[in-house]
Structure 1
Amino acid sequence: MRDSIESKVSNMHQLNIWNRWAKSFAVFIVLGVSLYSVSTVLAAAPTLTHVYPAGGQRGTTVQVTATGTFDWPVKVWSPGLQIMTGKEKGKLDISIPADLATDRVWIRFYNDEGASAAVPFLIGNLRELTEKEPNNTAVEAQEIADSRGIVNGVLQAAGDVDGFSVQLEEGHTLVAALSANSRLGSPMDAILQLATPSGFVVAENHDAIGLDPRLTYTATQSATYIVRVFAFPSAPNSSIRYAGAANYIYRLTMTTGPYIANAGPLSTSQSELGDVAVFGWNLPANARLPVKPLGDALLVAQREFEPLSAGVSPDVQLGFVFSPTYAGSARVRLTPHPVIMNSADGDEEPPITLTAPTSISGRLSKDREVDHYLVTLRKSQRVVLIAECDRGELPVIPLMRLTHPDGTPAAATKDPGTRKETTLTFVAKMDGDHVLEVFDRYGHGSERHFYRITVVEERTDFELTIGSDTLVLEKDKPLEIEISVNRKIQGGVKLGPITVSVDGLPKGIVATSAVSQPTGDTAKKVKISIAKSSTNYSGPIRVVGTTSEPTKLRRTARTPPKLGNSFDTIWFTAQ
């Protein structure tokens, strides 16, 4: 009996030990899984969806809140700005240089595992304000002192309408311009209204710049008016109601002071930037401002470029026009060839003569206007004529007709559909001055119907594009990059082999080069491999292509267009 009792006690003791061990093991397993999960989360690359406010005033420091998934503090990359991370997670203090020559910069978070998408941050000159709720009704409308400022707002939920009260004096012109979808990527199709306190709408606009509205109104009497903002989804759905969400972020500029809408001419030469006339509202007569390279030296590491097209060669850059005392700004194209600097009305007598390569800007000032130029060509000379407006910000859709020196029809552009660029590729059949006619697709004209004509000789060239603006080299695993090659063979002049390589890698990381041959599988695509021995790295790189046939050319790969522009730098992470 005693042995039986001792045996039971011993078994119970062992069972207790086993239970304690099992519980400890279970805790260890749970803790281990938890630690592993935390480690996995902490090791992930950051994400960044937006910052709010989504812009700031030159010469000031603004605090913004970043939204996304990231550890804190996080590493921040944003050429052109000085950014300090705050003590509170997601808070950034952003200092903006007073002379920053751009209307937009980009902010990216990164760590040792990778990088977030770059998000836009807009730059302005007026004082910054923050939208305050409730402001849905005329009674609750937020007052804007002096009727001047840039309001940072959010349409927070479905049905949200933001209202702002402005005092206008008789004869004064209010400009209200909203940046959201086109410049920030907010998924909204906004509408602006200007109404009296009783609700009578005196001005309204829907899609002035892409899906973003802009309106102007000259007050017929001194009174208080309400500026209203509401939106539908940029991607239409089955609902018929005002939309809103946390990412319906906007910047609303309101001013009765000077406002720049565009510059003329739309291009200047890279060798002689000069100054240009500015157009808009409430501007001094004959106002002119100097052209600066977009971002100047501050944005060399992440400069925006126009997407490549018939009128945009890889040599084209962007310039910027602004005044610290004006609202608004303008971008102009910086071309490698000469530019006729006067903005022609196209009805000069005798017509202005264009000789390749050159560009000129014109304006269709009235409905059904047809502008005329002379294009001097040699027999058998191959040229490309491009008519375009300045991206989506100007209303004209320019078409062209070309006539031989003997008066017979030579060529005409086709309907471009939704695009605002038309192109004629032409081989002259005779020497002499060919008459070029330029007109709007719908026969419209106004003080804002500016266009640009470019005449260049066809030439053999090439372009490189890459499918992403971020790359990650994982541990102990080579990275393979595919580069698309667009060979532009003109006039039967062949393009020789193109050597494609990576520029900007640190020591310890090696990339192979690739050669795109004129024919075969590599003519349109090549692959580059990157491997490392020991070095970790996070930073920008460039993919570069060079050739010496038929002449020396160097081109950098462009990233996919984002909010209307591309980059020639790619963010590279070696884990």
Structure 2
Amino acid sequence: MSKILNLFVALGCLAAAPGIEAASPRLDHLQPQGGQRGTEVAVTLIGGRVGQDPQQILFYDPGIELKSIERIDDNQAKATLAIAADCQPGIHGLRVRTATGLTNLRTFHVGTLPEISEVEPNGDFAAPQSIAIGSTVNGVITNEDVDYFVIEAQEGDRLSVEVEGLRLGRTFFDPAIAILDEERFEVAASDDSPLMQQDAFCSVVAPKSGKYIVEMRETSYRGDDASTYRLHIGKFPRPAVAFPGGGKPGQEIELKLLGDPLGEKLAKVKLPDVPPLDFRFAAEDEFGAAATGLPLRMIDAANVIEAEPNQELDNATRGELPAAFCGVIEQAGALDRFRFAAKKGEVWDVNLVAREIRSPLDAIVRLRKASGEELAGSDDNAGRPDSYIRFTVPEDGEYVCDVVDHLQQGGPTYAYRLEITKPRPAVDIVLEERSQFEATEVVVPQGGRAAVMVTANRAEFGGELNVGFGALPAGLSQETVVLAGDYNRLPVLLRATPEAPLAGQLTTITAELTDKSQPLLNRFRQQTWLVRGSNNVNVWSHYANQGAVAVAQPLPFSIKIVEPKAPLVQSGSKDLRVVAEKKDGFDGRIAVRMLYDPPGLSSHQGIGIEPGQTEAVIPLTTNPQAWARDWRIIVIAEADVNGTVRTASEFATLKIAPQYLAMAYPTAATEQGKAIDYAIGITQTTPFNGAAKVELVGLPPGVTTTPQEITKDSTEVKFPLQVAADARVGHHKQLYCVITIMENDEPVIHTIGTGELRIDAPLPPPQTAQEGLPATGESS
């Protein structure tokens, strides 16, 4: 459960006076970026407007408590954090809430060692910074910078060095570390690692007593002021993988810790009853605790540990499905096999997990009949190096799975879990990004509204869904729509009462079938893009299974939709009218846009209610495939009030309907200077009252006509075309009609096409005699 810590300032629940509102605080970074568990840490929060009335920090993980928070200046605040002695080491996401909003997510990093700072100059191997073994160094690598630190160790000591660089989420920073002896011989070195990805660790047994120098740099000798690091140097255990890599929720399991230089160790861990998004086990012994935990998976299937030898079909390790078959490819070229029984028609998901538990194994899985006949195989899965097979059992019998490394490599840390489970009805839920690469936070102004879009993708089931937020701060309510069985997006509208306290909360989003016919596995996940590479490739992100919601000070404006009284038809257009109410003292521009466009509809994105105005219209157009049904729509309004603020309209209903009529266009031909009647056949499907105006559009230069009228009984409309003597010659294939039907005093505009008009140049007049010759009967 996430821990949410409220800290209100004296006037935190009061509305801001007109003219002093602030908005959209940001958090660029924290200084320092981490602290030792079991201590209190003073942290400076740095970012635009983060110092304007800071009130609360929302922590995504338990173990950190906010003791105090206060303003330094508009763009800085000071917070005192108390880190519990049993706080999980590693990454902790957080957001700051001010009186006017929520910041973006940043990370705070919890360590296990006393914290110190890098002291320059320390870029000379001969003059390194002296530190005590058992320290976390906070430093920065600038361009072509190398930092050196010297420690004392005894022969036989375990010497562990680990760096957090890219994982701090500030910039594309690829650290490299090395442990050197006094003669500058390399004892150990690391750039990337399966456990740390682009960060690194070394863990060795000191070969002799004496001084050791730790080298810290960027792998290509690049760097800048944002290339900060946390370098953990101590005698702590540093296993690379925990085997068997997981278990059932709520189960106590015994782990074999692989890869530590002092050898394998055993540890017991009680898994949570409710699996979190990222659960890690941090190894500890009498010399300390690892700075980064080992990831563990939780599924409702028993572990089946491989029994060697198991490389042949007839000695494959047996298990009963569902199961997690667990093993290690300990030697290069090794093959592990597992055998199980299955019945015809059963469907099983065969999921090989290795990189997800930070194993170096790049596995290939092959599925066979017991006779050895291969049925399916998998190398990578959706661009990831782990493997997946959906297996429909062809007949009753026994089957065998092979596990090998893609490059025929192996080693003591090449662990894996081959999880074979039945598909489960599940829904993957995403809080859609408001701006690309920005995780959406929900801020609701007192007495106002906010709206967001949610995507709910169904897996292994269909049907209508009820989707919505869980617990919300006091004074907030929500309204949603039923998510149709053939669609995966829906708007959620949140309202705050004028008296709602200023507060923030982390919550989740859930979905259930409207008929409650079966339970669904809900998988809500929000990605925060922290570091992106070339072409915006994801390099490092934070993932959370909760979203942030807050109540903020009221805004100086509100908006509403003038609900359409007539439908918008396929291949049609409509102006959506939006009205603003501006409070005294505010007359800024209010940008308005649709929260979302239903399939087949396009809305103009550049509309605003200008200063001195209170209304605007958003042009809407549809294509022929627009989904015909009633849509619940919302308009979002944004303005600059010392930063961007936003609110939402109430729901309105927009009906998208099929066209009321169809038209059959002829292919007509005429000559320059010759008028023609262009008759278009009409088939009507939806009766309408009164006369409809029909305009023929797309005529070539030199051709004119006049609008016509039709009624619900018309079967044809005829346009008299006036064709000038210099009308453009050629085939003109872009003729179409714009039909305006009035319904409930609103236009229902159809655009229906297309027709063709050919214009030819007239033939020359016939000649009666050959030019230059005398007529018949004349003498020469």
TM-score by length of 2: 0.59
Q: Distance in 2 between matches of 1:339 and 1:330?
A: 23
**Counterpart contact for 1:344–1:363, Cα < 8 Å:** no
How far apart are residue 387 of structure 1 and its match? 0.6
How far apart are residue 130 of structure 1 and its match? 2.0
How far apart are residue 181 of structure 1 and its match? 0.9
Q: Given residue 404 of structure 2, which amino acid in structure 1 is its aligned partner? A: F
1:125-164 equivalences under 5 Å are: 125-145=112-132, 147-155=133-141, 157-164=142-149
Q: Given residue 251 of structure 1, which amino acid in structure 2 is its aligned partner? A: R
Q: Output one character per residue of 1:287-345: Cα deviation in whole Å (capped at 9) or x when no partner.
A: 3132353xx9xxx9xx9615xxxxxxxxxxx3534437332453443534123164766
Structure 1 alignment gaps of length 5 or more: 1-37, 233-240, 307-317
Q: Distance in 1 between matches of 2:341 and 2:30?
A: 52
Partner of 2:526 in structure 1? 559
Q: Distance in 2 between matches of 1:102 and 1:270?
A: 21
Counterparts in 2 of 1:387 and 1:85: CA distance versus 1, 3 Å = same
1:308-347 equivalences under 5 Å are: 318=279, 320-323=281-284, 325-340=288-303, 342=305, 347=310
Partner of 2:510 in structure 1? 544
Q: Distance in 1 between matches of 2:304 and 2:371?
A: 29
**Counterpart contact for 2:136–2:233, Cα < 8 Å:** yes
Partner of 2:223 in structure 1? 244
Q: Given residue 570 of structure 1, which amino acid in structure 2 is its aligned partner? A: G
Partner of 1:84 in structure 2? 67
Q: Distance in 1 between matches of 2:422 and 2:523?
A: 22
1:337-416 equivalences under 5 Å are: 337-340=300-303, 342=305, 347=310, 350-391=315-356, 393-416=358-381
Partner of 2:456 in structure 1? 485
Q: Distance in 2 between matches of 1:542 and 1:387?
A: 29
How far apart are residue 434 of structure 1 and its match? 0.8
Q: Distance in 2 between matches of 1:181 and 1:125?
A: 19
**Counterpart contact for 1:469–1:560, Cα < 8 Å:** no
Q: Distance in 2 between matches of 1:342 and 1:564?
A: 33
Partner of 1:189 in structure 2? 174
Among candidates 416, 422, 430, match of residue 387 of structure 2: 422
1:155-304 equivalences under 5 Å are: 155=141, 157-182=142-167, 184-208=169-193, 209-231=196-218, 242-283=221-262, 286-293=265-272
How far apart are residue 462 of structure 1 and its match? 1.8
- The structure where helix makes up a greater share of residues is 1
**Counterpart contact for 1:168–1:225, Cα < 8 Å:** yes
How far apart are residue 383 of structure 1 and its match? 0.7
Q: Residue 216 of structure 2: SS of its match in structure 1?
A: strand
Q: Given residue 269 of structure 1, which amino acid in structure 2 is its aligned partner? A: K
Q: Given residue 161 of structure 2, which amino acid in structure 1 is its aligned partner? A: A
Q: Residue 167 of structure 2: SS of its match in structure 1?
A: helix
Partner of 1:6 in structure 2? none
**Counterpart contact for 2:443–2:551, Cα < 8 Å:** yes
Counterparts in 2 of 1:410 and 1:287: CA distance versus 1, 3 Å = same
Q: Residue 126 of structure 1: SS of its match in structure 2?
A: coil
Q: Given residue 374 of structure 2, which amino acid in structure 1 is its aligned partner? A: P
Identity %: 21
Counterparts in 2 of 1:363 and 1:554: CA distance versus 1, 3 Å = closer
**Counterpart contact for 1:292–1:321, Cα < 8 Å:** no
Among candidates 490, 499, 520, match of residue 526 of structure 1: 490
**Counterpart contact for 1:107–1:120, Cα < 8 Å:** yes
Q: Given residue 529 of structure 1, which amino acid in structure 2 is its aligned partner? A: L
How far apart are residue 457 of structure 1 and its match? 1.3
How far apart are residue 432 of structure 1 and its match? 2.0
How far apart are residue 416 of structure 1 and its match? 4.6
Is 1:46 the counterpart of 2:25? The answer is yes
Counterparts in 2 of 1:52 and 1:361: CA distance versus 1, 3 Å = farther
Counterparts in 2 of 1:469 and 1:266: CA distance versus 1, 3 Å = farther
Is 1:501 the counterpart of 2:442? The answer is no
**Counterpart contact for 1:485–1:525, Cα < 8 Å:** yes
Q: Residue 136 of structure 2: SS of its match in structure 1?
A: strand
Q: Given residue 451 of structure 2, which amino acid in structure 1 is its aligned partner? A: E
Q: Residue 445 of structure 1: SS of its match in structure 2?
A: coil
Is 1:57 the counterpart of 2:20? The answer is no
Q: Distance in 2 between matches of 1:39 and 1:55?
A: 38
Counterparts in 2 of 1:134 and 1:327: CA distance versus 1, 3 Å = same
Highest RCO, 1 vs 2 (Cα 8 Å, sep ≥ 6): 1
Q: CA RMSD in A?
A: 3.0
Is 1:436 the counterpart of 2:401? The answer is yes
Among candidates 115, 119, 126, match of residue 106 of structure 2: 119
Q: Given residue 416 of structure 2, which amino acid in structure 1 is its aligned partner? A: Y
Is 1:104 the counterpart of 2:114? The answer is no
Is 1:305 the counterpart of 2:277? The answer is yes
Q: Output one character per residue of 1:210-245: Cα deviation in whole Å (capped at 9) or x when no partner.
A: 21122234444433222111115xxxxxxxx62333
**Counterpart contact for 2:56–2:504, Cα < 8 Å:** no
Q: Residue 364 of structure 2: SS of its match in structure 1?
A: strand
How far apart are residue 99 of structure 1 and its match? 1.8
Q: Given residue 91 of structure 1, which amino acid in structure 2 is its aligned partner? A: K
Is 1:461 the counterpart of 2:426? The answer is yes
Q: Residue 560 of structure 1: SS of its match in structure 2?
A: strand
**Counterpart contact for 1:42–1:71, Cα < 8 Å:** no
Counterparts in 2 of 1:244 and 1:55: CA distance versus 1, 3 Å = same
Is 1:471 the counterpart of 2:456? The answer is no
How far apart are residue 204 of structure 1 and its match? 2.2
Q: Residue 182 of structure 1: SS of its match in structure 2?
A: helix
- The structure where strand makes up a greater share of residues is 2
How far apart are residue 74 of structure 1 and its match? 2.3
Among candidates 438, 445, 454, match of residue 410 of structure 2: 445
Counterparts in 2 of 1:91 and 1:134: CA distance versus 1, 3 Å = farther
Structure 2 alignment gaps of length 5 or more: 1-16, 433-438, 530-539, 553-780
| Segment drifting more, 533-542 vs 448-457 | 533-542
Is 1:571 the counterpart of 2:558? The answer is no
**Counterpart contact for 2:154–2:209, Cα < 8 Å:** yes
How far apart are residue 419 of structure 1 and its match? 1.6
Among candidates 54, 63, 66, match of residue 74 of structure 1: 54
Counterparts in 2 of 1:40 and 1:253: CA distance versus 1, 3 Å = farther
Q: Residue 341 of structure 2: SS of its match in structure 1?
A: strand
Counterparts in 2 of 1:447 and 1:284: CA distance versus 1, 3 Å = closer
Q: Distance in 1 between matches of 2:265 and 2:250?
A: 24
- The structure having more radius of gyration, on CA atoms, is 2
**Counterpart contact for 2:473–2:503, Cα < 8 Å:** no
Q: Given residue 194 of structure 1, which amino acid in structure 2 is its aligned partner? A: I
How far apart are residue 73 of structure 1 and its match? 6.2
